[in-house]
Structure 1
Amino acid sequence: MGMEEAFENGQPTLKKILQRYQESKPGTATKDFDFLVNRNPLLEKIFIGADCAIAIFDASKTNYPYISYKLEQLLGYEAQAYLQEGLCFTLSKIHPDDVPGLLEILEKEMDYIAGLTPNQRLDYRSSYDYRIRKINGTYIRVLQRNLILNLDEANQVLHLLVVLTDITHLKKDNTKILHIINKQESGFAYFYNLAEQRVTKDTFLSKREIEILKLLGKGYSSKEVADELFISIHTVETHRRNMLEKTNIKDTSCLVHFAILAGF
């Protein structure tokens, strides 16, 4: 079944997703992003040095007025393709098995944003991952992080900053996690269940697990984490194993790297 066709049982469709984005009305001119669109050499060098690919997504037009050199290098497609074909072009490159889950994730994200006040929307951040096909036909797994740049006159999302990072070496399976962060509510996620093919809301990582993860990210050993949190080494190791199982990431160093990228 092509992406243009409807999924059964009330699941979201590409057409529905596009229509929801296009509820936003053009307002802020892209001249606000001229320093990016014109390919500022210093910024492009910074993006390459930071090993992240950057794009700006215009919800009202469902296209990308800006694509960084790094994104062109990462996947091999020229920026013009993203500008002309927009979100449809991006979704056409995503692994077919990942499309249904990703469309559900996108709908959950838009539902969540719709319930926020304008100020809360501007504080909103999210991340999720999926497999995408490079121009040579191979697939890589990327983590996409989103930050709302501005709203239209009706306070609908207008421009999103999109940051893509290759995490092929980090994750072991095809589970999808939409992690949401804002000042009012943070540390929870929507999890796409591959077996049941549905999205559920979950705390994902507990408050204690996130505390342990942050200390591990600072280079603490299990003993140092245990001493800092006044718990046993056994408890730390149990939490460590549980986090690896929940995220399907192969080892603790990869888990810490993934958590930093995803904003945990």
Structure 2
Amino acid sequence: MNKNRDLLNSSLLTQSFDADLSREDQLEDAKRIARQYSRLENSISILSDMNAGRSYIYYSKFAQEFGFSAEEAVIDSIWEDELLRMIHPEDLQRKYRIELQFFSLLKTIPKEERMNYEVITKLSAQPPNGETIQLQHRLLYINSTVQSCVWLALCLYKKIHSHPIFNTPEAVIINKSTGEVIDCNQLWFKDLLSSREKEILNLMKHGYRSKEISGKLSLSVHTVNRHRQNIFHKLNVNNVMEACRIASGAGLL
């Protein structure tokens, strides 16, 4: 399995979801949204529930080109592997890489702003008939929990037509509220941590405790602990393991 996909699995599925009585209603609303996207955009629409590790798939007429005949399906995975197996391997690597960066970005911003962002990726796919199809893939997280866990994700696969007006970028993150396009190779959050914070986080990653880090870097324990708290705050995490996972995925380490 791909390293970036492993990191995504670990990051998304190990979040601390608490019980929420209103969550079932929100899930049903999200299903209706996913179903409508499929019909209106003639796309394959996939709603993934990170808490349950389950996805709800809605197939449009376009899905028949991939050999899918059902209108809807439920799978016990957040990965639509039956479709992903048809994607060109290099495109799949790029897709996983930018999605990991996207998740890392979302962890650093308030949950009420997360729906402003989405990922658009261009993919080549080869259905069973052997004819290569160009796809536009969109990913957006449409719901977070009270605890700020990223909960529901919506993926849309849509056929790209050959006319120039349908050009799709290779892989970008977009802020829909401002129109800002964030190139995946120039993400601003790569500068989120200072060089000292990166240095301390790297030592934490290798098992050093605050007292050991203070001696190694000639800093007071108080200063090291302050940097530690700043790192956790900036990455929106609660422990070293999660901080290292998010920082590695975002290219900070």
Range of TM-score over shorter length = 0.5 to 0.7
Match of 2:149 in 1: 156
Corresponding residue of 1:99: 92
Query: Residue by residue, what CA displacement relative to the aligned partner does 1:18-68 show, whole Å, maximum 9, x if unpaired?
Result: 11121343756455444775999xx66x84454333221223345422423
Q: Assess, with a 3 A threshold, how the Cα gap between structure 1 residues 119 and 94 changes in structure 2: closer, same or farther.
A: same
Is the contact made by 1:124 and 1:182 (CA closer than 8 Å) also made in structure 2?
Answer: yes
**Of 74, 97, 102, which residue of structure 2 is paired with 1:109?**
102
Residue 48 to residue 67, structure 1, CA distance change in 2 (3 Å): closer
How far apart in 1 are the matches of 2:40 and 2:9? 33
Give the C-alpha shift of residue 87 in structure 1. 0.8
What is the one-letter code of the residue matched to 2:152?
Answer: H
Report the alpha carbon displacement of residue 113 of structure 1 after superposing the two structures with TM.
0.9
Instruction: Give the drift of 1:152.
Output: 1.9
Displacement of 1:111 in angstroms is 1.5
Give the 3-state SS of the residue equivalent to 1:87 in structure 2.
coil
Aligned with 2:139 (options 138, 146, 150):
146
Query: Aligned in 2, Cα 1:80/1:54: closer, same or farther, shift over 3 Å?
Result: closer
% identical equivalent positions: 13
Q: Report the counterpart of residue 119 of structure 2 in structure 1.
A: 126
CA offset at residue 201 of structure 1?
4.0
Bigger radius of gyration, 1 or 2? 2
Task: Give the Cα separation in 2 of the matches to 1:169 and 1:19.
Answer: 37
Select the structure with the greater relative contact order (CA < 8 A; seq sep ≥ 6).
2
SS at match of 1:180: strand
Which residue is equivalent to 2:244? none
Do 2:124 and 2:132's aligned partners in 1 also have CA atoms closer than 8 Å?
yes
Alpha-carbon distance in 2 for matches of 1:133, 1:188:
29
Q: Which amino acid aligns with 1:178?
A: V
Counterparts of 1:33 and 1:53, CA distance in 2: 18
Structure 2 stretches lacking a partner, 5+ long = 189-253
Give, in angstroms, the shift of residue 149 of structure 1: 2.0
The TM-score with structure 1 as length reference comes to 0.54
Q: Secondary structure at the match of 1:54?
A: strand
2:57·2:73 contact (CA, 8 Å) conserved in 1?
A: no
Question: How many residue pairs align between the two structures?
Answer: 182
Structure 1: runs of 5+ lacking an equivalent: 7-11, 192-198, 203-264
Which residue of the other structure, out of 60, 67, 79, is the alignment partner of 1:87?
79
Say which SS state the counterpart of residue 87 (structure 2) adopts: coil
Q: Residues 71, 17 of structure 1: CA spacing in aligned structure 2 closer, same or farther, 3 A cutoff?
A: farther
1:73 pairs, out of 60, 64, 88, with 64
**Structure 1 residue 85: deviation in Å?**
4.3
Q: Alpha-carbon deviations, 1:63-120, whole Å to 9, x = none? A: 4224234464353235777614441614333211212222211111112111111111
Match in the other structure for 2:8: 17
Q: Decide whether the 8 Å contact of 2:44 with 2:57 is kept in 1.
A: no
- Is 1:51 aligned with 2:42? yes
SS at match of 1:98: helix
Amino acid at match of 2:86: K
Greater CA drift, 173-182 or 152-161: 173-182
Instruction: Pick the aligned partner of 2:170 from 176, 183, 190.
Output: 176
Residue identity opposite 2:171 in structure 1? I
Judging changes above 3 Å, is the alpha-carbon distance between structure 1 residues 200 and 61 closer, same or farther for their aligned structure 2 residues?
Answer: farther
Query: Retained in 1: the 8 A contact 2:53–2:76?
Result: no
User: What residue is the counterpart of 1:187 in the other structure?
Assistant: 180
CA distance in 1, matches of 2:27, 2:61: 17
Q: 1:166 to 1:79 in 2, by over 3 A?
A: same
